[in-house]
């Protein structure tokens, strides 16, 4: 028989979501490869560039954060670097600079800092090479191909 708590379908979190409860205080560095829900207090640094971080309504985070996606329902003091999207919900508070590709700030949320919207970079191997006919002709070659008058 397992001693792990059973996650309810009502929570909206999948099997790969770790949770930090209201009464938990963490000071230091936090690394995760799975989604994380923080409803307690974290001070230090959070790095989870492949995962989603949710700061619950009771969550208080004073840390630099690097994550794929962030949803803020509580309070964050620190700079955040988001690989995809940050969602600052109603009644949330974020003080710090944000670097992201996409951002949502709901009415009623408090935000103080700067926002740097990064472009979604395409990897060089994924770019299509234009056909030879579509490539511009160098000026010397263009002059040589023009009829003489």
List pLDDT tens digits, range 5-57: 434 333 444 557 899 999 999 999 999 999 999 999 999 999 999 999 999 99
pLDDT 10s digits, 54-98: 999 999 999 999 999 999 999 999 999 999 999 999 999 999 999
Q: Looking at residue 10, what is its pLDDT?
A: 37
Cα 82 versus chain centre, distance: 3
* pTM for the whole structure: 0.71
pLDDT for the residue numbered 3: 40
Any idea which residue has 């002059």 for tokens? 143
- 48-80 burial, b at 16+ Cβ within 10 Å, e below that, comes to beebbbbbbeebbbebbbbbebbbbbbbbebbb
- Rounded Cα distance between 105 and 28, Å, is 28
The three-class DSSP label of residue 69 is: strand
């Amino acid at each position: 028989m397992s001693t792990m708590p059973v996650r309810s379908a009502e929570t909206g979190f999948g099997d790969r979501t770790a949770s930090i409860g209201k009464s938990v205080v963490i000071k230091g560095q936090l690394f995760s490869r799975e989604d994380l829900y923080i409803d307690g207090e974290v001070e230090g640094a959070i790095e989870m560039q492949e995962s989603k971080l949710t700061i619950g309504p009771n969550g208080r985070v004073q840390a630099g954060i690097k994550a794929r996606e962030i949803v803020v329902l509580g309070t964050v003091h620190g700079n955040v670097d988001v690989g995809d999207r940050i969602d600052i919900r109603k009644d949330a508070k974020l003080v710090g600079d944000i670097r992201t590709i996409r951002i949502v700030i709901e009415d009623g949320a408090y935000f103080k800092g700067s926002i740097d919207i990064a472009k979604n970079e395409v990897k060089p191997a994924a770019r299509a090479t234009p056909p030879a006919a579509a490539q511009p002709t160098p000026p010397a070659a263009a002059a040589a191909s023009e009829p003489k008058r």
